[in-house]
Structure 1
Amino acid sequence: MKVIVEADGGARGNPGPAGYGAVVLDPATSQVLAERGEAIGVATNNVAEYQGLIAGLRAAAEIGATSVDVRMDSKLVVEQMCGRWQIKNPGLRPLAAQAAKLVREFDAVTFGWIPREKNKRADALANQAMDRAAGKPAKSAKPAKSAASAASATPVPAASRAPTDTATTAVVEAQPSMFAASGGAPAASWEPPSTASATRLILVRHGETGLNKQSRYSGRGDVPLSEQGAAQAAAAAARIAMIRSKIDAIVCSPLSRCVDTARAIAAGVGDPPVRPDDDLIECDFGEWEGHTFAEVRERWPAELTAWLASTQLAPPGGESFAQVSTRVRRSVRGLLATYTGQTVVVVSHVSPLKIMLRDALGAGDVLLHRLYLDPTGISVIDTWPDGGVAVRTVNDTAHLAGIATP
């Protein structure tokens, strides 16, 4: 179920008597599904705004929402949750982390900036809460303008997504990064991060198979490792042992080429537990499965062109990258929650690993078609509870020296 959350917060003074308001709306009818408003004592405007966001997300979760479109007139909160502005105020970081943790509970969340006049319902609840915080008599709220106009707002192009102060609604949409969701928006900084409390994901593509060597689409078919692929997996284990002395767990796609790669790595790094995860399986290439790239280009030229142009489209009878992204994000969010501060090796396929790197780098979908990952190529991503993300390595193949590759 998809809902709209409109949220606001403020203070009479900054800081001063503060409160927040949030409403959950049905996007089709603008019917109010839930309301939240509360005085929070003396606080700043930004603290109150974050509290409004948190209350709105909680209310959406309570009514069973799976997809949320957040609308706020706070540019700061929207930009920070989208990962474009750094969270410089230490007092806001725990609130951003709390909000991001709630974001993980949904399949999808977008954040949109709207002008204050389009956020009257949440603004009225926030003002009532501020009055209570200031000890003033409660005022009856005037009926607020329907959220229908906000719900039908057209997203601005990616090149012009910065919100403006004009009266026209400018919506900033952002699918929450699977990594930012672990602790708020990623901070922009040149300062080298500490590794003390980072959760490290070591991403490994499975070893070579016969289909890889022949440049064929290899998705859900359970193709075994070649002799070369088994040698690559053993070499990857030695390389991973150099990257991190202690591996806490290994998760992998359930297909044998990943399971066997994961087991070979485990044998070389102290035998940590290996756990298959269905969400890490390769994209379903449908009718293209087993065909060479050249054959697909010849037999399905229009479908291939459309597929390359949009992550929303799937190969005939297959799965879109957007669908792969949904399950991969679910898997990574689970890993970050389960193995906080630990090191996990993730053995998967080209598509899931590219999606993880795209999100960690904050890159666009074009990365999915430009990034090359070798069999047993190793990439390393560190994340921190405050939302910091560092991509330390992409497709490291030093361990393959002397081993032939496709």
Structure 2
Amino acid sequence: MSLPTALVVEADGGSRGNPGVAGYGALVRDARTGEVLAERAAPLGRASNNVAEYEGLVAGLQAVLDLDLAAGAVIEVRMDSKLVVEQMSGRWKIKHADMQRLALTARRLVDRVQAEGGSVDFRWIPRERNKAADALSNVGMDGRTVRRDLPAREGDADGVGGDAGAGPRAGEGDGVGVRVGDGVGDGDGVGVGSGTDRPTFGVGRVPLSDVYVSDETVPTLEGQTRLILVRHGVTDFTESHRLDGRGGADPELNDTGLRQARAAAAAVAELVARSEIGPVRVVSSSLRRARQTGQAIADALGVEREQDADWDEQSFGSWDGLSMGQLMGSRPEELLRLRNDPEWAPDGGESRRQLDARVGAALGRAIARGGTVVVATHRVVLMSVLCRLLDIDANRAWSVATAPTSLTAIEVWPDGGVQVAFVNDTHHLLGLV
């Protein structure tokens, strides 16, 4: 077989628990034919998802060198980890020691390829187009090792239970059951630059004193306890500007709200994947629209959704279902009292003081458990959290936008310090119809 001049390296890594049981997978293809030339997979013990992704990259590049295919080769590395692709392309900083070490190892392998006259470019692809490497990484997470060169070289270990050289392509014989066509010949996909043009957090919004606004276009969370607060998607009540509080009609997400929830779930999963984090939990309020939003996020992260009614929206009592226009026309003074007087509540409703007490309790429970907590909740609840953490009054909090399915992130450090990383991130809604 003549050596190809164009190669594709597909790499992936995963962690069940993040950090948890981890493994990586990688393969090398002839870019012209899609033929699989090498497969690699191995367990990593306990590691984070990001570390596993880097290990997959290192294994894929090393496989090219092991096969003596680097000379003059044009190599495209395809991964669904935007973090690794952007860091290896030099556009994102590498902050964590483990990833700095692995990135240096990968860079040295790239240098070796270049020393032989080859080139290496990095390209992000959607997860669904990285199925072959994903399947291999799951083999690694299952505790098995794969080192297969195809056609097999004498002495190579199969590592999956079949004979060395059992078949020339992945998915035949005792391989890992992935098709050669996965990720090849499916169109151009999304290049490295796509999806990174995101708004800088804080631009065009009313600033809050003592709020740290990131100057990075894509945030990474680093604190000991991390809260990602997600407002629910829209309902028919939301779109008609009607109040829908605790104990009211409890509307469900409409079609737009469901699309927003899925987009937010993908954004949260991406944020979690690029942040070195502890255990991840998803909590929602007991109201239907927040439950639906929280479930979409839990599904994207592969965890169970928890429920805590203390994250429910404020109860508006007899006002529930009324529009803001109706209230401004018939009860303007009472509407101002609802906003300005923490002790006042509509008939059968809940005052801000009562809301703040239960939200404060929920916030305390979330912080005490540590790790990363994603909370699907509501507009006034988000305001209550920001008021508490930033020591601002409710009037000022009304000037902070928290759009449906926007993301707000808070970090709590070991010394008790609190940092608002960003507020009202809605980049995932750009272009959503």
| TM-score, normalised with respect to structure 2 | 0.47
Q: Which has the larger radius of gyration?
A: 2
TM-score by length of 1: 0.50
Q: Which has the higher contact order (CA 8 A, sep 6+)?
A: 1
